[in-house]
């Protein structure tokens, strides 16, 4: 019976409203007092039923909830024959709860939108080569799937054949389509806007990036911040205190109606709902814009950050080194480039890949007697020639003559922040290449926005040489630059800053820097959809989009401010109502409940503003 009544709480609220209207129409329009009284009695009893059940359930677990206050107040009003107050209070309370839930559901729309984006079906290749539509749960890792124009990608996978453009807004928050071709990665929940592709399933179900995003946002929206936990504890003692206050007022004044009114006015509903709605809306905004905020506590800490430390490679820079400078010291460079490409194509080193990419198509040669010199480079025999590729130390070890021009070029390249690759053939320097990582587009402007948002200290912590790190810091306007740092050195430096009372955020790629991400007050991963980034950090910038960082910080600050605004509204309304009941005649039980419900809606609407938050540039 209890469950039956609670499930029909909204219907009871509207029926109570109808009975109240019927009562007043009967009295004012027709002068029928009997219908007026009995309609109000029916409305009071109907409305009090679900409230009393909720109060009973709360008392069973030793919690004095808002429902307890309202139940006592309504029963008291009913006993003193104040049916009008009892009916109106129960209706306003139930109708307010209906509007509150309906409005609050809109702040959780990020989850609803995400789950609606989850693909339900897939075109799976059978043994005969034909594609058959199946439920996405039937897809296993390694299956070959067909995705047509306008369809959602069902799993995380790798493109096997075909080309097209994919809208990845569900993952990155960016609606501009991204070109995909063979060997490109695609993610579940994204939309193929044109073209047709076949993909191999890499991750399926909840293991997909999209599945993890939904899981993280759900967990974050259900988490509680320190402020919320405080309010929970506060309301636990506050509601009994209101009961005691009402009893004391009745004991000394013998005014039952005044005591009952205090019970209604003291309901802390807006206070209880104000902070959660701000946090839920803030997390929802982030989810829509490619920023995963993993919980309410993250919002609280991130909004107070003093210092932000950055890894260099893959964070401030693209993590994709390219040949930036080159000098030739011989006329016969074509053959030397062929020798260089022949050696470097066998290496997985980022510098080797940059060299091969720069040289492009060229004649390759048979490489024999390869010797890797640790910390120096590679020496090999090619077509009877001794070819050395590496740094200055390797050249000196090979007795390669470096004249004044070569020395000047080396010095100039190093000052520009290059890593050097020198190539000699039979002891003669032929090529000098300068390779450096490229700074992400727009990073300097994004760092300026962080400063404008109140971050005092911006620093780079890198394993690269100090000269390169200093150049990056100077170009980007960072306040500190530290090179030659191992992962444990970065963690130690962050701990040192925290020891000075600073709240530190660390931004890294989520792989090599996991110790720093874990130690920092706020770990921010350049996600790129990687499992490690999502698991180890507090904040994930999807698709490694650095421009999301200022939005994330601005959003957490706006959310924290919104939370305190809601607390101020909630407490202010209760204080004003209690003052009004003692020092004015306009505050009664019905007015108090109306204002109380309006304050709940006010904090919800105020919180919902965060769904439309955009950082002002």
For 188-213, letters b (16+ CB in 10 Å) and e give bbbbbeebebbbebbbbeeebbbbbb
SS3 (DSSP) at 378: strand
Q: Provide the β-strand partners of residue 307.
A: 457, 504
281-to-23, 107, 568 alpha-carbon distances in Å: 40, 5, 18
71-to-47, 90, 208, 236, 436 alpha-carbon distances in Å: 10, 9, 48, 17, 71
Query: Is residue 403 among the annotated active site residues?
Result: no
Cβ count near 281 (within 10 Å) = 30
- Identify the H or E element spanning 291: strand 291-293
Instruction: Give residue 75's Cα distance to chain centre.
Output: 46
From the list 143, 156, 301, 311, the catalytic residue is 311
Six token digits for residue 535? 């698991």
For 525-553, letters b (16+ CB in 10 Å) and e give bbbbbbebbbebbbbbbbbbbbbbbbbbb
SS3 (DSSP) at 453: coil
In 3D space, the residue among 117, 108, 107, 295 whose CA is nearest the CA of residue 210 turns out to be: 117
- Write out the DSSP string of 39-73: HHHHHHHHHHHHHHHHHHHHHHTT---HHHHHHHH
d(CA 581, CA 585): 7
d(CA 364, CA 337): 9
Residues with a catalytic annotation lie at 311
């Amino acid at each position: 019976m209890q469950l039956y009544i609670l499930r029909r709480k909204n219907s009871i609220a509207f029926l109570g409203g109808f009975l109240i209207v019927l009562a007043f129409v009967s009295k004012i329009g027709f002068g029928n007092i009997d219908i007026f009284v009995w309609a109000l009695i029916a409305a009071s009893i109907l409305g009090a039923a679900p409230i009393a059940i909720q109060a009973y359930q709360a008392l069973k677990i030793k919690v004095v909830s808002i429902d307890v206050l309202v139940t006592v107040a309504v029963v008291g009003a009913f006993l003193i024959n104040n049916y009008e107050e009892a009916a109106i209070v129960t209706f306003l309370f139930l109708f307010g709860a209906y509007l509150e839930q309906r409005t609050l559901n809109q702040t959780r729309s990020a989850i609803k939108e995400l789950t609606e984006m989850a693909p339900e079906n897939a075109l799976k290749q059978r043994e005969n080569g034909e594609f058959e539509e199946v439920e996405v749960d039937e897809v296993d890792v390694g299956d070959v799937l067909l995705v047509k124009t306008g369809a959602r990608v069902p799993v995380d996978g790798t493109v096997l054949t075909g080309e097209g453009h994919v809208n990845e807004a569900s993952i990155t928050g960016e609606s501009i389509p991204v070109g995909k071709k063979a060997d490109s990665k695609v993610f579940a929940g994204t939309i193929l806007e044109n073209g047709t592709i076949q993909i191999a399933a890499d991750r399926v179900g909840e293991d997909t990036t999209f599945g993890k995003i939904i899981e993280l946002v759900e967990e974050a929206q259900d988490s509680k911040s320190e402020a919320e936990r405080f309010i929970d504890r506060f309301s636990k003692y506050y509601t009994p205190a209101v009961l005691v206050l009402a009893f004391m007022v009745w004991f000394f004044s013998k005014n039952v109606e005044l005591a009952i009114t205090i019970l209604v006015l003291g309901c802390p509903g807006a206070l209880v709902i104000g902070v959660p709605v701000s946090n839920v809306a803030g997390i929802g905004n982030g989810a829509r814009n490619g920023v995963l905020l993993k919980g309410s506590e993250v919002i609280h800490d991130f909004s107070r950050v003093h210092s932000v430390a950055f890894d260099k490679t893959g964070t401030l820079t693209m993590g994709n080194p390219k040949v930036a400078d080159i000098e030739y010291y011989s006329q016969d460079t074509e053959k030397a480039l062929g020798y260089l490409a022949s050696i470097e194509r066998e290496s997985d080193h980022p510098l080797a890949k940059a060299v091969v990419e720069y040289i492009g198509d060229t004649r390759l040669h048979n490489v024999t007697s390869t010797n890797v010199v640790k910390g120096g480079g590679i020496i090999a025999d090619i077509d009877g020639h001794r070819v050395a590729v590496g740094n200055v130390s390797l050249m000196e070890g090979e007795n390669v003559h470096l004249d004044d021009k070569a020395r000047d070029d080396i010095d100039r390249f190093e000052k520009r922040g290059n890593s050097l690759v020198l190539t000699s053939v039979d002891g003669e320097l032929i090529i000098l290449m300068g390779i450096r990582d490229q700074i992400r587009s727009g990073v300097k402007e994004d760092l300026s926005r962080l400063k404008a948002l109140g971050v005092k200290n911006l620093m780079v912590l890198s394993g690269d040489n100090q000269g390169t790190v200093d150049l990056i810091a100077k170009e980007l306007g960072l306040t500190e630059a530290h090179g030659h740092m191992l992962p444990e050195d970065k963690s130690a430096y962050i701990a040192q800053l925290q020891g000075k009372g600073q709240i530190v955020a660390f931004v890294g790629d989520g792989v090599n820097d996991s110790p720093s991400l874990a130690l920092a007050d706020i770990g921010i991963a350049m996600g790129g959809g990687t499992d490690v980034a999502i698991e180890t950090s507090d904040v994930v910038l999807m698709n490694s989009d650095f421009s999301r960082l200022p939005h994330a910080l601005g959003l957490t600050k706006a959310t924290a401010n919104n939370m305190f605004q809601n607390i101020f509204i909630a407490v202010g309304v209760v204080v004003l109502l209690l003052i009004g009941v003692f020092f004015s005649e306009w505050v009664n039980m019905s007015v108090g409940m109306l204002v109380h419900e309006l304050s709940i809606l006010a904090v919800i609407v105020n919180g919902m503003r965060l769904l439309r938050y955009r950082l002002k540039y």
